[in-house]
């Protein structure tokens, strides 16, 4: 028995395309998901949503439940944030996504948000993966902090085998000896995984680098290497962000990125 099979192109040759309302993930158009790391208030989310919508993002990102290394760090607004996400998403006609950390958050998050995200720290949380296999929502599956490509695909297999074929793989940088960047973005993994699997693959250059100035170059490189989408942190006031301010783009920077990335999309025969 191989480690995985449902995720492979041997099992399904053509690309999986995941439709959420008018958005198709894994199709010709590269999908950009943008927003704050964590929902801090309705005003914050609304301000940022307005900007990213205007610049062309299709999905609003934002965490309600936030895994933090230290118990003394801000842990997210929880269910209150889910209400904000739903309201703001509706207002700006944006698909929404958020992170689920626990089985009992799946139904709750599912009531308010369109796409559920598994964070890097939970990629090996097999019970969570199995439970997400019972969900009807698309799942963004981030690669674990030190997960091999094989383990990442196995995690996707857990979700698919339990009944949910709508898995979006997300490369977000791996842990290496290098400390000048937060993680080491592994773009070769994106190209390799696109060959092995039929699932859409997106890249998170914000967590991948941890440095605002590197988000745009890595976003472009991600498109060049064949990614189907991008997950980008945008914040209107990064210096006062409660989480990850250093890696968040300002709205203006995001707008420029969306402009510049068009040529790269065309160069790979896609659009944005």
Work out which of 19, 126, 134, 240 binds its own copies, going by CB under 8 A: 126
Binding pattern to its own copies, positions 221-240, x when CB under 8 A? Answer: xxxxxx--------------
256: three-class secondary structure by DSSP? helix
Q: For residue 100, give the nearest of 58, 131, 146, 57 by alpha carbon.
A: 131
By CB under 8 A, residue 217 contacts its own copies: yes
Work out which of 125, 197, 247, 248 binds its own copies, going by CB under 8 A: 125
Work out which of 17, 27, 211, 256 binds its own copies, going by CB under 8 A: 211
Running DSSP on this structure, what letter comes out for residue 11?
A: T
- The secondary structure element, H or E, covering residue 131 is helix 126-132
Q: For residue 231, give the nearest of 197, 207, 256 by alpha carbon.
A: 207
State how beta strands 59-60 and 31-35 pair: parallel
Q: Could you give the CA distance from residue 129 to residue 110 in angstroms, rounded to a whole number?
A: 15
Site for its own copies in 156-175 (CB under 8 A): 157-158, 161-162, 174-175
- By beta-carbon proximity to its own copies, the closer residue of 112 and 158 is 158
Beta carbons of 128 and 122 less than 8 angstroms apart: yes
Work out which of 93, 184, 240, 271 binds its own copies, going by CB under 8 A: 184
Contact residues toward its own copies (CB under 8 A) are: 1-4, 67-72, 101-104, 121-122, 124-128, 145-146, 148-151, 154, 157-158, 161-162, 174-181, 184-189, 191-192, 195, 208-209, 211, 213-214, 217-218, 220-226, 260, 263-264, 266-268
């Amino acid at each position: 028995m191989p480690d995985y099979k449902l995720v492979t192109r041997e099992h399904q040759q053509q690309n999986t395309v995941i439709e959420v309302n008018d958005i198709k993930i894994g199709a010709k158009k590269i999908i950009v998901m943008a927003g704050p790391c964590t929902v801090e208030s309705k005003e914050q989310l609304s301000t940022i949503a307005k900007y990213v919508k205007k610049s062309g993002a299709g999905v609003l990102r934002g965490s309600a439940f936030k895994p933090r290394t230290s118990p003394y760090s801000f842990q997210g607004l929880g269910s209150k944030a889910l209400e904000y996400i739903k309201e703001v998403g509706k207002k700006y006609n944006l698909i929404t996504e958020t992170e689920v950390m626990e089985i009992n958050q799946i139904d709750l998050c599912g009531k308010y948000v369109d796409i559920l995200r598994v964070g890097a720290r939970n990629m090996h949380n097999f019970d969570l993966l199995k439970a997400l296999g019972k969900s009807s929502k698309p799942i963004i599956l981030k690669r674990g902090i030190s997960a091999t490509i094989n383990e990442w695909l196995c995690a996707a297999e857990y979700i698919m085998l339990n009944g949910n074929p709508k898995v979006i793989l997300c490369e977000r940088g791996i842990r290496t000896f290098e400390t000048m960047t937060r993680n080491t973005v592994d773009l070769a993994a994106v190209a390799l995984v696109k060959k092995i699997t039929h699932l859409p693959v997106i890249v998170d250059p914000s967590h991948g680098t941890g440095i605002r100035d590197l988000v745009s170059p890595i976003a472009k490189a991600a498109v060049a290497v064949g990614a189907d989408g991008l997950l980008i942190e945008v914040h209107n006031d990064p210096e006062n962000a409660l989480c990850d301010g250093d890696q968040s783009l300002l709205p203006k920077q995001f707008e420029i990125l969306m402009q510049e990335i068009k040529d790269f999309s065309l160069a790979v025969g896609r659009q944005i």
